[in-house]
């Protein structure tokens, strides 16, 4: 595996969303801010003008997620919420990414700066099971799992750290998701160029 490759942390349907200068982003017709997503101004500001990769897991997907790069993992932060379904029709009706129970950590990664990785619980998926607290981890190591059903993994990257593959960007710009598998390359480090 190329060291400058960003890999999918899980199986799922991927969409890419730019995070604007005011830390706002749009998913399924809803506007959000990074502050609403993480409930922390300092962390939210880090991802201004960056990019957000949203991996929507379906019932038939492998429900474990892995680290997209090697590095130092932080403590887990849990945000209590409710559990709406994450299927597209429901996601268009609810602001699930700031209402649902979620948990996140940051990864001081070897190739992509400070990555924020968030797990969003969904209806019938009340448990997010992260495997580690603070730890040194390797790309591909298992990070955790969801217990039962569909759910979402969000990966936020800082400005100028990654170039998502053009075919994935084209699909996202057309409001379409790309089917990906855990470990599949989804982009490369921006410093490579």
Residues 122 and 176: their CA atoms lie apart, in Å, by: 21
Q: Which of 15, 23, 109, 151 is catalytic?
A: 151
User: What six digits make up the tokens of 145?
Assistant: 């799992």
The catalytic residue among 4, 11, 61, 69 is: 11
Residue 110 appears among annotated catalytic residues: no
The pLDDT, as a whole number, for residue 27 is 63
pLDDT at 84: 46
Instruction: Work out the mean pLDDT of the chain and round it to a whole number.
Output: 83
pLDDT tens digits for range 45-70: 999 899 999 998 887 788 788 999 99
Categorize the per-residue pLDDT at 34 as very low, low, confident or very high, splitting at 50, 70 and 90. confident
Q: Where are the beta strands (DSSP E) in the chain?
A: 5-7, 12-18, 24-27, 30-33, 51-57, 64-66, 71-73, 77-79, 102-109, 114-120, 128-130, 135-137, 142-146, 151-157, 162-164, 178-180, 185-189
Distance of CA 55 to the CA centre of its chain: 6
Strands 151-157 and 114-120: antiparallel
Q: Per residue in 121-149, pLDDT tens?
A: 765 545 677 888 899 999 999 998 776 65
Which one has a higher pLDDT value, 192 or 112?
Answer: 112
Percent of the chain exceeding pLDDT 90 equals 46
CB atoms near residue 81 (< 10 Å)? 15
CA 187/CA 166 separation, integer angstroms: 9
- Distance of alpha carbon 77 from alpha carbon 43, whole angstroms: 12
Could you tell me the residue ranges of all domains in the chain? 5-192
88 compared with 192, residue with greater pLDDT: 192
Instruction: Indicate whether 101 pLDDT > 60.
Output: yes
Active site residue 4: no
pLDDT, position 2: 81
Q: Looking at residue 29, what is its pLDDT? A: 62
Q: Which two tokens stand for residue 181?
A: 């598998």
Across 34-52, average pLDDT: 88
């Amino acid at each position: 595996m190329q060291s400058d490759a960003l890999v999918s942390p899980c199986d799922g349907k991927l969409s890419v969303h730019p995070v604007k200068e005011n830390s706002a982003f749009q998913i399924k017709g809803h506007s959000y801010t990074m502050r609403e997503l993480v409930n922390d101004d300092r962390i939210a500001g880090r991802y201004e003008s960056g990019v957000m990769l949203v991996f929507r897991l379906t019932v038939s997907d492998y429900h474990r997620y892995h680290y997209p790069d090697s590095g130092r993992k932080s403590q887990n932060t849990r945000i209590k919420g409710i559990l709406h379904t994450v299927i597209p029709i429901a996601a268009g009706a609810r602001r699930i990414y700031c209402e649902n129970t979620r948990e996140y950590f940051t990864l001081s990664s070897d190739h992509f700066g400070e990555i924020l990785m968030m797990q969003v619980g969904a209806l019938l998926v009340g448990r997010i099971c992260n495997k580690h607290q603070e730890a040194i981890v390797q790309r591909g190591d298992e990070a955790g799992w969801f217990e039962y059903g569909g759910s979402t993994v969000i990966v936020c990257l800082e400005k100028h750290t990654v170039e998502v593959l053009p075919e994935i960007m084209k699909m996202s710009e057309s409001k379409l998701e790309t089917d990906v598998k855990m470990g599949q390359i989804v982009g490369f480090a921006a410093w490579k160029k």
